[in-house]
Structure 1
Amino acid sequence: MPFHDDASRIACARQHAWTAAAIRRIEADFNRSADTHLIPLALPGFPGIDIYFKDESSHPTGSLKHRLARSLFLYALANGWLHAGSTVVEASSGSTAVSEAYFARLLGLPFVAVMPASTSPEKIAAIEFHGGRCHLVRNACDIAAESERLARGTGGHFMDQFTYAERATDWRANNNIAESIFRQMEQEPHPVPAWIVCSAGTGGTSATIGRYARYRGLATRVLCVDPEYSAFHAHYAALSQGRTPPEATVPGSRIEGIGRPTIERSFIPGCVDAMVRVPDALSLAAMRHVNARLGRRVGGSTGTNFVGVLRLAQAMRARGEQGSIVTILCDGGERYAHSYYDPEWYAAQGIDVANADRIIALAADGEDALPDLEPVSRHVDGVPDR
C-alpha cells in the first residue's frame, strides 16, 4: 500500500512540513498588520444618523481583497491544494490579483492573474510589483475558463475566488471584517448598526457580514448595492419576487472590482436583506464627493456604496429613525488615475459628470434628490421607502 512505501511517507512528510511553514508565514504576516480604521463622516442633513467608512485601503495591498486573498490561501493550503512550486492562477479584475500576488510571493510561489484587457494599468503595475504575471483577455466572461486552462497547463492551482470566497472566510470570528466592524462600533452612540452597506464582486463580503450578524443575534441588516452593468440585482429581485432568475449575461461592469456579467457561486442571496441598483454616473459622482469630504482619493466601488448609504439615510430620516450606517471604503483611488480621475475617460464613456455631481451634492446635503434605485428586499419591511 502507498502508506507503507518509504518514498511516499517521506514525500507526505515534506508536504505537511511545507504546508505548516506556509500557514505560519501567512499568520505571521497577519500578526504584523494592524486592523483597518473606522472613519466617521458627518452628514448634517441627517441628524441622529451616524455614517462610518470601514477603510480597507490601509491593508498592505491597499484594498478589501487583502482579507479575501489571505482566506483563499489558507483555505487552499488546509485543503492540500497548494504545494511547493505550485503556480497560483486567479481570475480577477485587479485588486484580488494584487493581494494574491502578495501572498504568492510571501510563499515563494509563481502567480498568474487572468484579467480583462480593460483593467487599469495601475492595477497591472501593482500585480507585477508583487512578482505576479498578467494574462489579459478581451472578454470578461472568459477569464474563469482561461484561468482553468492555464492552471491545468502549468500543473498549478486555480484559486477561483468567485466560487470559494464565501466558504473560505471564517464568518464566525477570527477577526473577519464583520467582527472588526462590530468591535470598533462598541463605543459609538449607536453601537449596533441599523445597516451595513456593501457591494458584490464575489459576494464574499455580503455573505460574511450577513452570516455574522445572524450568528451573533444582531439586528443589523445588509444592503447590497449593485452597479449598473451587473447580473446580481436582477437575480436577487427575481428570487425575492418568486420568479425564475434570468440567465442572460450583461456587459462587464465599469466599476472595477464589483458587479459581474453572470451570477457567481459565492453570492448568497439569503445573506442579503435588500439590494439597489446604482447607475455608474452616480457611483462615480459619489466617489468624487467622498474624495472631497475625506481629502483622499477612493475607488469607484466606494462611491457605489455611498449612494446606498444616502438612500438609506433618506429613508431612515423619513421614518423618524435614528441609528448608524456602516459602509466599506474598498480601495484607494490611486489605481484609477487613467480612468475615474481622468476627464477624457468620462468623455469616452459618455457620462454626464455635472448632472451626477449635482444630484449627489444635493442628496448629501439632505435633499431627496436620488432617482429610483430599484430597491428590492426579501422582507416586507426591507429597504425603507423614502
Structure 2
Amino acid sequence: MPTDTHMWITEAIKKLDAEVGRHAERAETPLRRFPLPAEWGIDLYLKDESVHPTGSLKHRLAHSLLMFALVNGDLDANTTLVEASSGSTAVSEAYFARLLGLDFVAVVPATTSPSKLALIEQYGGTCLLIADPNAVYAAAERLGAQAGWFYLDQFTNASVVTDWRCNNIASAIFDQLASEAHPEPRWIVVGAGTGGTSATIGRYTHYTKTATKVAVVDPEGSAFARAWAENCRHVIGCASRIEGIGRPRVEPSFIPAVIDEVLAVPDAGSIAAMRFLADVTGINAGGSTGTNLYGAFQLIARMLAAGETGSVVTLICDGGERYLDSYYSDSWVAERGFDLAPHTARLREFLQSGIFAVAA
C-alpha cells in the first residue's frame, strides 16, 4: 500500500472515530417506555434509533461498513462508493462519504420515498433509480466493479462488519436495562432488511448466555418469514411495501439459526401501528417501527396468557418525518387499498384487555 494511501486511511479512521465522539450524547440512543397497564407486570421499551445524526438505525451500519472497508484497505482518497439500498442506509452512507470526501452513488428502487432521496442528495450523494427492485443489486454491483469504485454491499456485509461481542446495539440494550425491574428481556423484536441487526442481537444473546429470545417481524410478501419457517434460504418473495425491512430474497446477512421466531405482519397492520404509536405516545416513527410494535404486542399478549412478567424491547427505526407523504397520508393509504380500521381496533383492544386477536 502506498504511504500516502496509508496516511489517508489513518486520517479517515480518525474522522470516523471523531464523529462518534462528537455525538457522544447520542452514542447510546435512549430507551423509551411504551405505557402498558401496570398490573400486567410487563415493561415495553422502544430503543430510539431515530436520534442518530442521520435519523435512523442504519447510521450504525453505515459507520461499520465504512470502517470495515477502511481497515481492509479497500478505499483511497479517490474511491467512489456505491450501495444498493431502499433508502435509509444510503442516507447514512452519503453522510459518512461526505465526511471522508468521497463520492457516493445510491442505487435505489424507484418507489423510494422522495424525502429519503432528498436526504441522500443533501449529503452529497447521487441517486440512481431502478424500476425493478430486484435489479438494484446487479446495478450496484456493476458500478462497483469499475476501476476506482467500491460496492459497500450492505446485504452481504451487515452481519460481518459489526462486532457482536461488544459495543453494539445489543450490548447497549442490556447495559441500559441493568437498573430496570426486568434487566434481562424476554424478547427483543426487530425487523430484517439486511438481517444484520437480528444477527448481531442473536449472536450477542448466545455469547452472553442470556435467556432472551429474538423475534424478527416481517412484512407481507417478504422472503424471510417463509425461509425461516421452511428452513430454506432459496425462497423468493416480492418487494416490500414497508420501507427498510422485508426483502424479495433471503439476504446473506440473514442468520436464521440465531432467531427464535419470525412473525409475519400485514402491511396495513404496520401502518396502523405506527399511527397508533403516535396517538398514544406522540412519537412519530416510520412503517418498520409499526411492524416492530405490532409484533411486540403479539408477544406480550402471549406472555400475559401464560402468566409471565418481564420486559420486551423493540426499536424505533427512523422518524416519521420521512413518511408524511406516504404512510401518514390518508389519501396515499386509501389509493393503495390499505384498510387500517380493523388493525387499529385490534391494537386498542390489546391495550384494554391484553388480548391480541391475530387476523386469520
Same fold per superposition (TM over 0.5):
yes
Contact 1:226 1:232 in 2 (8 A): yes
Report the 3-state secondary structure (helix = DSSP H, G, I; strand = E; otherwise coil) of the residue aligned with 2:205.
helix
**Are 1:197 and 2:189 counterparts?**
yes
CA distance in 1, matches of 2:39, 2:66: 42
Shift of 1:165: 0.1
Structure 2's unaligned 5+ residue stretches are none
Report how far residue 248 of structure 1 moved.
4.8
Residues 1:128 and 2:121 aligned together: yes
Deviation, structure 1 residue 261 = 0.3
Give deviations 1:148-179, integer Å, cap 9, x for gaps: 11222463000000000000001111x21011
The correspondence for 1:296, drawn from 283, 288, 292, is: 283
Counterpart among 37, 44, 53 of residue 46 in structure 2: 53
Select 2:105's aligned residue among 112, 123, 130: 112
Aligned residues: 357
Paired residue type of 1:252: A
Deviations 1:357-385, CA, capped at 9 Å, x for gaps: 11221123334243158xxxxxxxxxxxx
Tell me which of 207, 216, 225 is aligned to 1:215: 207
C-alpha distance 45-138 of structure 1, shift in aligned 2 (>3 A): farther
Amino acid of the residue matched to residue 260 of structure 2? D
Q: 1:23 Cα deviation (Å)?
A: 0.6
CA contact (8 A) 2:202 2:258 kept: yes
Structure 2: distance between partners of 1:365 and 1:27: 46
Q: 1:76 maps to which residue? A: 69
- With over 3 angstroms needed to count, the CA separation of the structure-2 counterparts of 1:220 and 1:337, relative to structure 1, is same
User: What does residue 173 of structure 2 align with?
Assistant: 181
2:169 maps to amino acid: I
Q: Which residue, out of 307, 323, 334, partners 1:336? A: 323
Query: Equivalents in 2 of 1:184, 1:296: separation in Å?
Result: 20
SS of the equivalent of 1:83 reads coil
SS of alignment partner, residue 277 of structure 1: strand
Distance of aligned partners of 1:369 and 1:326 in 2 relative to their CA distance in 1, 3 Å threshold: closer
Distance 1:328 1:16 in 2: 38
Using the alignment, how far apart are the partners of 1:136 and 1:368 within structure 2? 43
Secondary structure of 2:127's aligned partner = strand
Question: Contact (CA 8 Å) 1:314, 1:366: kept in 2 or not?
Answer: no
| Structure 1 residue 191: Cα displacement | 0.6
Which one-letter code corresponds to 1:36 in the other structure? T
Indicate the SS of the match to 2:145: helix
Match for 1:250 among 206, 212, 237? 237
C-alpha contact (below 8 Å) 2:165/2:207 kept by paired residues: yes
Q: Counterpart of 2:313 in 1: which secondary structure?
A: strand
- Residue in 2 that maps onto 1:227: 219
Q: Percent identity?
A: 52
Matching residue of 1:349: 336
Counterpart CA distance in 1 for 2:147 and 2:340 is 45
How many angstroms apart in 2 are the aligned matches of 1:142 and 1:52?
37
Larger Rg over CA atoms: 1
Match of 2:89 among 96, 103, 123: 96
Kept in 1, the 8 Å contact 2:297–2:356? The answer is no
**Given the alignment of the two structures, is residue 24 of structure 1 paired with residue 14 of structure 2, yes or no?**
yes
Structure-1 separation of matches of 2:354 and 2:45: 20
Quote the Cα distance in structure 2 between the aligned partners of 1:270 and 1:246: 12
- How much has 1:246 moved relative to structure 2? 6.9
Unaligned runs of 5+ in 1: 1-10, 240-244, 374-386
Pair 1:156-2:149 in alignment:
yes
2:249 to 249, 258, 262: 262
Residue in 2 that maps onto 1:384: none
Partner of 2:301: 314
SS in 2 for 1:193: coil
TM-score by length of 2: 0.96
Deviates more, 1:136-145 or 1:339-348: 339-348
- DSSP 3-state at the match of 1:365: helix
Q: 1:5 corresponds to which residue? A: none
Query: 8 Å contact 2:298–2:356 — kept in the other structure?
Result: no
